[in-house]
Amino acid sequence: MLAAAGACVGCAGVSPPPASSAALPPTAAQRGQAVIAEPPLARPSPQAPAPAPQVAPGWLGVALSAQPPDRPGVVVSSVLRRSPADTGGLAIGDVVIAVDDRRVNDPGDLSRHIAALGSGRRVSLMVQRNGADRLLAVELGENPGFEGQLRLGFVDVGAPEFQSVQVAQGALPPTLEGLRGRVVVLEFWATWCGACRALLPTLNEWHERLQARGGLVVSVTTDPVGKAAHDATELGLAYPVLSDPDGSTAQAYQAFALPTLFVIDRSGVVRDVSVGYDPRRIAEIEATVARLLSEG
């Protein structure tokens, strides 16, 4: 029930609302100079009941794994911070046995059942924790989408340290700890990602303008260091590039959609996250960076 993505993310268009229409009332009829009364109004037909408001699918904010065939329930393998599961008390390692007395033994079945119940629904989860049964009351939420999930999980929390990266371009330490004291815009990108290329001029301009104020743009790609260095030169990236060949740093940041931007303050805390190329969100990211730089 955590969103998964693995491609470039662009902007989503918004369709305009349908135009409304109105009918003109009929005029009175006249014959000669005598006015003929209008016939009695027809009894209006009963109106159809208004459709029930649409309820978004229910969402817990967990990742699930299957139990061995001879054991009941499904295992909670991950709990998203500040998700309904987190606020409701679910923990990694819990085994969900039933939802509102409905037994579950398959992760897909549990996910579909939670979605069908709808957001805002309060459910009772029977779980086993350390061999003991527990009953948890959880109010299902609405899936906030991939960017929303990243914001729940990372904003206002210390950014993960870089893992197994190599410097492909630029002079900087290959650790987040080594960047303390600077406001960092951390970008996850790939050469095949069209949205990443569209964002490149903006990041070049940010890097050029923000360096003197203690700002820094750093790029991370899963390409090997040699290819990353070649592509950075070929594409004209002006900012430092880190190679993450085994994807461990991308995994730590859950950067499964590209481009993904993290804004990290001087003390190493994530302050904003953006996924894809959306000019509105890019402007918000820039405003966040400016505010953090002004804080000194």
Say whether 166 sits in a helix, a strand or coil.
Answer: strand
User: What is the structure's pLDDT at 45?
Assistant: 59
Check residue 50 and give its pLDDT: 66
Secondary structure (3-state) at 76 = strand
Mean per-residue pLDDT, 165-194: 96
Q: Tens of pLDDT along 80-120?
A: 999 999 999 999 999 999 999 999 999 999 999 999 999 99
Residues of the chain with CATH 2.30.42.10: 58-142
Express each pLDDT in 136-152 by its tens digit. 999 999 999 999 999 99
Q: Any idea which architecture 58-142 has in CATH?
A: Roll (2.30)
CATH 3.40.30.10 residue ranges for the chain: 145-294
Q: What pLDDT digit, counting tens, does each position of 202-236 carry? A: 999 999 999 999 999 999 999 999 999 999 999 99
Report how far apart, in Å, the C-alpha atoms of 135 and of each of 89, 118, 170, 200 are.
Answer: 10, 20, 54, 50
Stretch 194-201: mean pLDDT: 96
Closest CA to 7 of 184, 183, 189: 189
**For the residues 230-248, what does the mean pLDDT come to?**
97
Reported as a single tens digit per residue, the pLDDT across 256-291 is 999 999 999 999 999 999 999 999 999 999 999 999
Instruction: Return the CATH fold of 145-294.
Output: Glutaredoxin (3.40.30)
The predicted structure's pLDDT at residue 13: 32
pLDDT of residue 241: 98
The residue among 135, 140, 8, 129 whose CA lies nearest residue 87 is 140
Per-residue pLDDT, averaged over 37-50, amounts to: 56
